[in-house]
Structure 1
Amino acid sequence: MDSDLSSIVLVLCLTTFVSAFYISMTRMATQGKLDRHSSAGIHTPHTQASDVAWQEGHTAALPLVYKTGWVAAITIPLIMIVELKLGQPWAVITGVAGIQCEMAILFYAMKVANKATRSAVRLGI
């Protein structure tokens, strides 16, 4: 495989994987299919406090995590268009920018999860 093509394929796969993995893990945690002692999920002291906090945090974060799917859905065709118009280096930069947007959303989702679990603890849930 040509190195130019392999770098584009790698960026496309990573963009898709980041979104699909985090959406599926967060959904599993909200449905109680992923316990807080597993290796995946939003692991912070607040979300790890109890099973209720784990589920509350992931439930609060899920709408934001879904937005990573939209970022991937926009980034993937954009990578292909940029590849055709501007070439491989710009397509890779576009893909990396999309992945960075996904990561920023995930960090914000972690902040929202922490806030939700602290609220749940204060309310005694």
Structure 2
Amino acid sequence: MVLLLVAMVLALGVWLVALAAARGRLTANGAIGIRTPATQRSQEAWVAAHRAALPLVAWGGLAVVAAALVVLLGGFLEPAGLETVGITLVLAEGVLVVIAAAVAHRAAVQVPAP
């Protein structure tokens, strides 16, 4: 059950970071966000990258949270099964972040250099 909660918190955190960066409230930095050489080239590239990644992060995160809630509230799995689903959802969120980073990088490259 703990991993299901971790998956939900991770999905929410990734979405909040992408949303803040896409709105320009989180500037390019070395700690959080999608950090590639292209996304950190300028603030415009940073924002464009996160705007491009936001739909994928939002819908993918929503799917992770919905799946976790269905499993948690359904009550049809034993504890070992809950952990297996939790691991799967955490891994799915990781794959989602990698794909979103590729989409973001592609969008950042399209922004003219300052």
TM-score (normalised: structure 1): 0.81
Q: Deviations over 1:49-71 (max 9, x none)?
A: 11111001000000001021222
1:47 aligns with 2:39: yes
The structure carrying a bigger helix percent of its residues is: 1
Structure 1 or 2, whichever has the larger Rg, is 1
Alignment gaps of 5+ in structure 1:
1-7
> Cα RMSD over matched residues?
1.7
Q: CA separation in 2, counterparts of 1:34 and 1:100? A: 26
Equivalent in the alignment of 1:5: none
Q: Counterparts of 1:58-77 in structure 2 under 5 Å?
A: 58-67=50-59, 68-77=61-70
Residues 71 and 77, structure 2, Cα contact 8 Å, conserved in 1: no
Q: 1:94 to 1:55 in 2, by over 3 A?
A: same
Would you identify which runs of 4 or more consecutive aligned residues in structure 1 move more than 2 Å? none
Equivalent in the alignment of 2:103: 112
TM-score (normalised: structure 2): 0.89
Higher RCO (C-alpha 8 Å, min separation 6): 2
Q: 1:64 to 1:105 in 2, by over 3 A?
A: same
Residues 47 and 113, structure 1, Cα contact 8 Å, conserved in 2: yes
Equivalent in the alignment of 2:17: 25
